[in-house]
Amino acid sequence: MAFVKDFVWKSGMSVEELVSALGSVGFQSVELDKASRIIVKMKESGAKVFLTFTSNMATSGLRGFFAQLAAMRIPDIMVTTVGSIEEDMMRSFGEKFAIGDFRPDDFALYEEGVNRVGNIYVSNRSYENFESKVKPMLEKLYARKKVWPVSEMLTEIGLALNDESSILYQAAKNGIPIFCPAITDGALGFHLFMFQQDHPDFVVDVVKDFANILFATSQDEKKGAICLGGGVSKHYAIFSCLLNGGLDYAVYMTTAHATSGSMSGATTSEAKSWGKIKDDSDVATVIGDVTITFPLAMIKALEELKRKGVLK
C-alpha cells in the first residue's frame, strides 16, 4: 500500500519530478501521475494510440502542443470536432486569438464582432478570412475527385497549409489520420453545404470514414486512448475500439462529472460495462482543466519515454 508523502519544493525541480512528487500527495494529484505512467505504458507496449480532444482545446495554445505530439508520432489516430479544424486553419492563415476575461460585457463583444470561447476571443474577421481561403481549397479537392471521406479530405487540407505549428499539417505529414465525425457542426460545415449547392455531386462521406477508423485497428492490436474532454470526439474513438475488442489503456481528462450521465463525464468503469474498455485495462481519470493537467502528465511521460529510448 502506498502512503501519503509531504510535497516539498526543490530548486530547479523539473516537470517530471513535480508530477512524480504529486503522485504521493493524494486526491487528483495521484490520478495525474497515474495518467502519465499509463501513457508511457501505451507507447512501450506498441499500442495503437487514439488522442481525442474537443475544439476549445485547439482554440487555446494547446494547439501547438498537439501539433508537436503529431510530429513526434505520439498518437496514431486523432479525433476531434470541427471547431478544432477551423481554428487550426485560422491560426495557419495568420489569425491571432486574444486572451480576454471570463466575465466581460458579452453584448459589447457582439457589437464589436468578437466571439468568446471562455476567456479567448475570436473575431468575425477571422471567420471572414477563413471563408475566403476555404472555397479555393474545396475547388482543388473537387477537381481531383467528387467524393471525400472526412479524414482523407483533412489530410489534403493539412498538407496545403504547410505550417509546422498546425495540427492538420503535422498529422498529414506524419501519416496520422484526423477523424471529425461532426464535420458539419460549424463554419466549415456551412461552407461545405454552400459548396455543394453549386456542386451537387460533391460528397463528404462520413459513413466511409467510419469504416476507415474501424479498419485502422484490429481485435489483435493493443489499443490505448487519451481522451481530453468528451462528447463526440471521445465516443467516436472508444466506440470504434468497442467493435475491435476494447481498449487496453485509457486516460480520461475532463471537468465533467459522472452524475450528469453525459459522455463527457462517463467514467472508465462505465465504459467497461459496454466493453469499450477491457476489464483488466490500465485506466486513470483526471478531473481538472486540461490546459493544466494534460501538459503536466504528457511532459512527464515524454521525459520518461525519451530516457528509456522509446522516443528518439
Catalytic annotation, residues: 276
The residue assigned the cell 487555446 is: 60
Plot region of 260 (φ>0 → left; ψ -120 to 50 → alpha; else → beta)? alpha
